[in-house]
Amino acid sequence: MGNLAYRASMPVLRLFSPEAAHTIAIHALKLGLAGRTAAAADPVLATRVWNLDFKNPVGLAAGFDKNADVMDAMLALGFGFVEAGTVTPLPQPGNPKPRLFRLDEDGAVINRFGFNSKGLDAFVAKLQARPRNGIVGANVGKNKESADAAGDYVKGIERVCHFADYLVCNVSSPNTPGLRGLQARGQIAELIGRVLDARSRAMAGAQPAPPLLAKVGPDLSEQERRDIAEVALASGIDGLIVGNTTVDRPPTLRSRHAAESGGLSGVPLKEKARACIADMYRLTGGRLPIIGCGGIANGADAYAHLRAGASLVQLYSALVYGGPALVEDIKRDLAACLRAGGFASAADAVGADHR
C-alpha cells in the first residue's frame, strides 16, 4: 500500500494483533497494493560488494518476508536488496502466540517467533519462479527439534544457493533453544566449514558462487567477538551480518510489553548494534564486508552504521512505525549525510570512524 494508504490504515491495523497486522500487510503486498517508488536512484548511494552492484546500501532484514512471498514487492519500494527467511528445512509452526509485541513508546518490537516457516520446498519454489531482477538473499536456519544443527544449515544452503544472490546462516536468533550456542568458536568453525563445503558441492564448479555470510548477534562478549572474527577470516566465509535482536532490556524502556521474553529490536538496539559493528570491523581489520543490522530508523542512523564499518545496512522494525515511505526517506537523508561528510559514495564512508 502507498504511504498515504498506509497512514490512513494505521488506526485500523492497530485494531489487530501485531502478527495479524503483519499478515495483512503481506497480503496487501502480494496483491500489489504497496505501489512502487518513483524516485530516481541517487548515484552517491550506489555501491559494489561481493561483485554485486547495489543501487543503494539499504536492505530489508530477514524476518519480514519469512516465506519469500513479497521479495519483488519490497524491492519495488526502493530497497537496495531484500533478504528472505529465516527458512528451516522442514515446516514448523514456531512458538505459541502471542509472540510479537509493539513497544510503541520506545519505537521497538519484541518477537519470539521461533523460526516459524513453511519449509524449504515452498521457499525454494518461490525463489526459483521469480525473475532475477534485484538482489535477494536467502537466510537459512535449523528446525527446533533437529539433532544435527549444522546438517540443517547444509540442507538449506544446498537448496537455495542456485536461486539467491547471497546466502546467510542465522546462528543468533534468541528464540530457538541452543541456537546462539552455535556462535561458540568450535561450533561456528565446524558449521562454516560444512556449509562452505555444501556450497561448493551444490555449485559443482559453477561460478560465481553466491557469497556466504553468518548472522551473529549483538549480545556477544569481547572474547566471543574475537573468536568469531578469527574463525571468519580463517575460514574463507564472505561476510558477516551484525547483528540480530537482543535479549537485553535497557532500563529506559517504557512500554508495558518491555518484560516480554524474546528478542528486542528497533530504536533501543541502535547503539548496541553500532558498537558491535565497530568491534567486528576492527577485529577483522576491515577485510570482511559487514551488513549492519539493528536500530536503523532514519538516514543518520544508516550513515553512522556505515561509518562504524558496515558496507551495507538492513532494517525491519522501523517499517512498523514509518510505513513504506520510510525507505525513500532514509535513502534521501543518507545521501545528504554522505555529501555533507565529503564522501563521493557510500563505499567511501565505510569504516570512516576507524581512520
- Asked if the structure places residue 213 within a domain, the reply is yes
Mean pLDDT of 134-150: 94
Tally of domains in the chain: 1
Q: Look at 149 and 53; give whichever has higher pLDDT.
A: 53
Q: Look at 112 and 131; give whichever has higher pLDDT.
A: 112
- H/E stretch holding 310: none
79-95: pLDDT as tens digits:
999 999 999 999 999 99
292-350: pLDDT as tens digits:
999 999 999 999 999 999 999 999 999 999 988 999 999 999 999 999 999 999 999 99
Q: Write the DSSP symbol of residue 131.
A: -
- Asked if the structure places residue 25 within a domain, the reply is no
* Set of cell numbers at residue 312: 551495507
Task: For the chain, give the percent of residues with pLDDT over 70.
Answer: 96
- Asked if the structure places residue 37 within a domain, the reply is no
Decide: helix, strand or coil at residue 168: strand
163-202: pLDDT as tens digits:
999 999 998 887 777 767 877 788 888 899 999 999 999 9
- Asked if the structure places residue 15 within a domain, the reply is no
Mean pLDDT of 12-40: 85
Q: Look at 37 and 13; give whichever has higher pLDDT.
A: 37
- Asked if the structure places residue 162 within a domain, the reply is yes
**Residue 3 confidence (pLDDT) above 70:** no
- Asked if the structure places residue 17 within a domain, the reply is no
**Residue 1 confidence (pLDDT) above 50:** no
Active site (catalytic) residues:
173
Print the domain residue range for 112: 42-354
**Residue 13 confidence (pLDDT) above 90:** no
287-301: pLDDT as tens digits:
999 999 999 999 999
Q: Look at 263 and 32; give whichever has higher pLDDT.
A: 263
- Asked if the structure places residue 290 within a domain, the reply is yes
**Residue 147 confidence (pLDDT) above 80:** yes
Q: Is the peptide bond before 250 cis (omega within 30 degrees of 0)?
A: no
Q: What share of the chain is helix, strand, coil (3-state, %, to 5)?
A: 45, 15, 40
Q: What CATH number corresponds to the domain at position 287?
A: 3.20.20.70
**Residue 8 confidence (pLDDT) above 70:** no
Find out whether 106 and 267 touch, Cβ atoms under 8 Å.
yes
Q: What is the pLDDT of residue 21?
A: 92
- Asked if the structure places residue 4 within a domain, the reply is no
Q: What is the pLDDT of residue 176?
A: 79
Mean pLDDT of 235-250: 95
Lowest mean pLDDT among 19-33, 54-68, 127-141: 19-33
In whole angstroms, what is the distance from residue 112 CA to residue 96 CA? 9
Mean pLDDT of 202-219: 90
Q: Is 149 exposed, middle or buried (0-12, 13-18, 19+ CB in 10 A)?
A: buried
Q: What is the pLDDT of residue 139?
A: 98
**Residue 4 confidence (pLDDT) above 60:** no
**Residue 6 confidence (pLDDT) above 90:** no
Dihedral of the alpha carbons of 208, 77, 311, 165, in degrees to the nearest 10: -10
